[in-house]
Structure 1
Amino acid sequence: MNILQIMRTGPVIPVIVINRLEDAVPLARALVAGGVRVLELTLRTPVALKAIEAIANEVEGAMIGVGTITRPEDFDASVKAGALFGVSPGLTPELIAASKDSSLPLLPGVMTPSDVITARAAGFTQLKLFPAQQAGGVGMLKALGGPFPDLAFCPTGGISLATAPEFLALPNVACVGGSWLTPGDAIASRDWGRIAALARGTVSLGQAA
């Protein structure tokens, strides 16, 4: 499965931070039960790779990806953990080279038109606009649509349930990334029912888009 197919699986990709390994599987099961199958688990904590491995092995229906790829060695580690795709906050020559040598499909981060040109020259046509709100949000994506009509974006950063529909209505937006589906307090209290309900709330976003 390629990045565009992954992006089009659902309107929202949750951006997940796991601090306790034992939370990974029940959290992923709650999201899948709510209709959200594509999950981005970030490499921001010591247990992240083990959490990805647990979800890949134990959660039926989950399409687990790894976020916050910033180093070439992250590719091999992610593949070994069972990730189906990777997401980076930016793109460097080293990451481009590692991506070409890896079986892991990458959604690279961009913020400026120069970033977009660099990414497209490296062969990427699906990009993550990050941080989306700070980069100009909907206005920036509309502006990028003119010179880059062949590209699809997943804006991430500062997007909420309230603002997601405006992004999803744009023709060059395939999905959005958001952390509102997995609020830290809900994970801390293991309120999986709340997280499943938040996931179910994304169904209408897909219908509106």
Structure 2
Amino acid sequence: MKTIEIFDHIYEKSLMAVLVVDQVEEAVNTSKALLKGGVSVIELALRTPVALEAISAVVDHCPGMLVGAGTVINPEQVESAKKAGAHFALSPGLNTNVITESNNYDLPFIPGIATPTELQLALEFDCNCLKVFPAETIGGLPYLKSISEPYKHLEVKYIPLGGINIDNFSDYLSFPEVIAVGGSWLTPRALIKDKAWDDITKTAQKSLEILGK
């Protein structure tokens, strides 16, 4: 998929489930449960030894899922994520070396920002879709509205993560500059460990009902 197609898909779906898994089958079963509930975008964080293998497995076994590699914090991980089959990548922060390497590998990349300085640096590297992290801790939606205002004419888009939950995600999505929100409320590790796939499906369905989708 082309970069614009990936971002359009994320915008259309609005919700991005964040996964941290210890077993490959957890990623596959969770993804199937999410798809059943109508959520088709995930960020699978590169925080565990099986993460890259899990990305490949989800890409292979869940063709309807758009898979992002999360916590990509160094250039070497870009190559690994691309080879694993990730459709795009995200980071909690902004590392210009990672941006450059993502361009080299033609891997759509969403850097994380928390300040206007980081936002401007991202724009210098032609990144206009940005992860805002940790969204709630740094001031929530009022803060995002404030820092985004000077750049509104540049049509920058945002994906807030960090502290987003079923009670506040729709508030963020009401802000036109936000194309999607991400969070682990859709995929709590406790439910994954308990293999409570039906509960994950129900949470996805409930979240979409809140959005009227």
TM-score by length of 2: 0.94
Name 2:19's counterpart in structure 1.
16
Name 1:58's counterpart in structure 2.
61
Q: Tell me, yes or no, if the aligned pair for 2:186 and 2:203 is still in contact at 8 Å.
A: yes
Q: Which amino acid aligns with 1:197?
A: K
**2-side partners of 1:184 and 1:207: how far apart?**
26
Confirm whether residue 186 of structure 1 aligns to residue 191 of structure 2.
yes
Q: C-alpha displacement at 1:91, in angstroms?
A: 1.2
Q: Deviations over 1:65-92 (max 9, x none)?
A: 1100001011111111111000111112
Q: Tell me, yes or no, if the aligned pair for 1:141 and 1:172 is still in contact at 8 Å.
A: no
Q: Tell me, yes or no, if the aligned pair for 1:9 and 1:38 is still in contact at 8 Å.
A: no
Q: Tell me, yes or no, if the aligned pair for 1:186 and 1:195 is still in contact at 8 Å.
A: yes
SS of match in other structure, 2:162: coil
How many pairs were matched up? 208
Give the alignment's Cα RMSD to 1 decimal: 1.3
**2-side partners of 1:103 and 1:24: how far apart?**
25
**2-side partners of 1:4 and 1:53: how far apart?**
21
Name 2:47's counterpart in structure 1.
44
**2-side partners of 1:37 and 1:22: how far apart?**
17
Q: Which runs of 5 or more residues in structure 2 are unaligned?
A: none
SS of match in other structure, 1:153: strand
Q: What is the aligned counterpart of 1:140 among 135, 143, 147? A: 143
Q: Tell me, yes or no, if the aligned pair for 2:74 and 2:95 is still in contact at 8 Å.
A: no
TM-score by length of 1: 0.95
**1-side partners of 2:10 and 2:63: how far apart?**
19
**2-side partners of 1:205 and 1:11: how far apart?**
12
Name 1:161's counterpart in structure 2.
166
Q: C-alpha displacement at 1:20, in angstroms?
A: 1.5
The structure richer in helix per residue is 2
Q: Which runs of 5 or more residues in structure 1 are unaligned?
A: none
Name 1:151's counterpart in structure 2.
156
Confirm whether residue 203 of structure 1 aligns to residue 208 of structure 2.
yes
Q: What is the aligned counterpart of 1:177 among 174, 182, 186? A: 182
Q: Which amino acid aligns with 2:9?
A: I
**2-side partners of 1:72 and 1:162: how far apart?**
36
**2-side partners of 1:12 and 1:93: how far apart?**
26
**2-side partners of 1:41 and 1:200: how far apart?**
20
Q: Deviations over 1:162-205 (max 9, x none)?
A: 01111111111111011001111110110100001111122134
Q: What is the aligned counterpart of 1:112 among 96, 108, 115? A: 115
Name 2:105's counterpart in structure 1.
102
Q: C-alpha displacement at 1:95, in angstroms?
A: 1.2
